[in-house]
Amino acid sequence: MGFTTDQIHAGVTPDPVTGSILTPIYQSTTYVQPSVDEYLSRGFSYSRTANPTVKALEAKLTELEGCAATAAFSTGMAAIHATLVAFLSAGDHAIISDVAYGGTYRLCTQVLTRFGVEFTFADTSKPEEVKAAVRDNTKMILTETPANPTMKCTDLAAISEIARAAGAVHAVDNTFLTPYFQRPLELGADLVVYSTTKYMDGHNATVGGAVVSKTAELDEKVRFIQNSTGSIMSPQVAWLTLQGIKTLSIRMDRQSANAMAIAKFLEAHPKVAQVAYPGLESFSQHELASRQATGYGAMLWFEVKGGLDAGKILMDNVKLWSLAENLGSVESLITHPVTMTHAAVEKAERDRVGIIDGLVRLSVGLEDAEDLIAALDDALKLVP
């Protein structure tokens, strides 16, 4: 079956009791067992461990990824946490993309280091730097590509090869592109992590996460952490995400096309200093982005001439674009990462990895591209 067919039909069947075409919301804490000897014969006992609605979402994602199993989590950060904790212990070392979501950086530097885990934030766009960072105790490499918010790309096949040689697990945060545009497991990765809050949901309605595992053994380790920490997705969130995924490919095609039009507009605008979008030929890693993904996504950033002060004028006055955190929704969002999504990252570290103060991040939605461009153009006219 094709991806769009699977995003609608995979993992779900009409309800056997009523014939409902939508998977019911099984809002239940516990499940009555037929007998002591038949405990778990129906597959469910307590919803912290497993829930039928959540299982339907996990089955759909497993089909879409072509993987062994998927575990759905309460948030994207819960998914990242489980990915790290499942494979790292005190004294272990992990390599993380130097540009990553601010919450990932905070979790590593302010929480997991307290338990004796060591981290190196390496430029994963340079395989030689990753290889040089490998130690005898390196157990995981976590890459984010395209990276939030600079859009830096990582050669997933090259990093997967380094991880295999080191005996480490390679996990990839694929939130920006989803399995529709990029398939890390097929490029050698072991795990794929998502904030389902973003493109999977697509409607600013839920927070959730998922960890996709290449093998059942990897999934077992992730699920142990999920059950032990109680971080499973709720049935109502799973139900909403199931509905959102049905239009994933259609939304991403339209949003990506809009993003390309907007990137070209900004690149040609006299008040814009620089633009970064993997679909632009001027993007330094355009060839890599084209080679390992089938689409460029709907995330981009730019800087207004005049830096932070000019960017604030634009962000505070632009119409149609909502100034907000989050990304991947049908509504177009504009974000200032230094103040919002990456405020947990120290300024020196932001400067080191290229998250400049004047960086304006765009999450392009489904509106008419002409209207989105006109709104940005009107706001840019207010910049001196």
User: Which of 227, 245, 263 marks a domain boundary?
Assistant: 245
Please indicate, yes or no, whether residues 129 and 266 belong to a single structural domain of this protein: no
Return the DSSP state at 116. T
Count of CA atoms in the C-beta half-sphere (13 A) of 94: 27
Is pTM beyond 0.85 here?
yes
Contacts of 198 (CB under 8 A, 6+ apart): 76, 175, 176, 326, 327, 328, 329
Please indicate, yes or no, whether residues 354 and 220 belong to a single structural domain of this protein: no
pLDDT of 278 reads: 98
Q: Which two tokens stand for residue 213?
A: 């595992």
Question: pLDDT (tens digit, 0 to 9) for every residue of the chain, 384 residues total?
Answer: 899 999 999 999 898 889 999 999 999 999 999 999 999 899 999 999 999 999 999 999 999 999 999 999 999 999 999 999 999 999 999 999 999 999 999 999 999 999 999 999 999 999 999 999 999 999 999 999 999 999 999 999 999 999 999 999 999 999 999 999 999 999 999 999 999 999 999 999 999 999 999 999 999 999 999 999 999 999 999 999 999 999 999 999 999 999 999 999 999 999 999 999 999 999 999 999 999 999 999 999 999 999 999 999 999 999 999 999 999 999 999 999 888 889 888 888 888 988 888 999 999 999 999 999 999 999 999 999
Please indicate, yes or no, whether residues 297 and 347 belong to a single structural domain of this protein: yes
Active-site amino acid positions: 48, 101, 173, 198
Cβ atoms of 187 and 162 within 8 Å: the answer is no
Length of the chain equals: 384
CB atoms inside a 10 Å sphere around CB 257: 16
Helix/strand/coil for 216 = helix
Cβ atoms of 189 and 177 within 8 Å: the answer is no
Please indicate, yes or no, whether residues 232 and 254 belong to a single structural domain of this protein: no
**15 sits in which H/E element:** none
Cβ atoms of 117 and 164 within 8 Å: the answer is no
- How far CA 338 is from CA of 70, 103, 343, in Å, comes to 33, 13, 5
pLDDT of 141 reads: 98
Please give the tally of structural domains in the chain: 2
User: Which of 178, 213, 245 marks a domain boundary?
Assistant: 245
Cβ atoms of 139 and 92 within 8 Å: the answer is yes
pLDDT of 344 reads: 85
Please indicate, yes or no, whether residues 151 and 272 belong to a single structural domain of this protein: no
Please indicate, yes or no, whether residues 188 and 215 belong to a single structural domain of this protein: yes
Please indicate, yes or no, whether residues 252 and 174 belong to a single structural domain of this protein: no
pLDDT of 94 reads: 98
Cβ atoms of 167 and 379 within 8 Å: the answer is no
Diameter over CA atoms, the chain:
76
Return the DSSP state at 233. P
Host domain of residue 347: 248-380
Q: Which two tokens stand for residue 371?
A: 């209207």
**Preceding peptide of 146 cis, ω within 30°:** yes
Strand ranges (DSSP E) for the chain?
69-73, 93-97, 118-122, 138-144, 169-173, 191-195, 209-213, 272-276, 299-304, 322-323, 333-335, 359-363
Q: Which of 253, 129, 134 is nearest to 202 (CA)?
A: 253
Residue with tokens 């004294």: 91
pLDDT of 247 reads: 98
CATH number at residue 123: 3.40.640.10
Strand ranges (DSSP E) for 147-220?
169-173, 191-195, 209-213
Q: Which of 189, 133, 125 is nearest to 157 (CA)?
A: 189
Please indicate, yes or no, whether residues 233 and 278 belong to a single structural domain of this protein: no
Please indicate, yes or no, whether residues 234 and 287 belong to a single structural domain of this protein: no
Q: Which of 177, 197, 168 is nearest to 288 (CA)?
A: 177
Residue with tokens 């990839």: 172
Query: How far apart are alpha carbons 58 and 200 in whole angstroms?
Result: 12
Query: How far apart are alpha carbons 46 and 30 in whole angstroms?
Result: 5
Query: How far apart are alpha carbons 241 and 74 in whole angstroms?
Result: 12
Please indicate, yes or no, whether residues 236 and 285 belong to a single structural domain of this protein: no
User: Which of 213, 245, 277 marks a domain boundary?
Assistant: 245
Please indicate, yes or no, whether residues 150 and 227 belong to a single structural domain of this protein: yes
* b/e burial code for range 65-97 (CB count within 10 A of at least 16 → b): bebbbbbbbbbbbbbbbbbbbbbbeeebbbbbb
Please indicate, yes or no, whether residues 162 and 222 belong to a single structural domain of this protein: yes
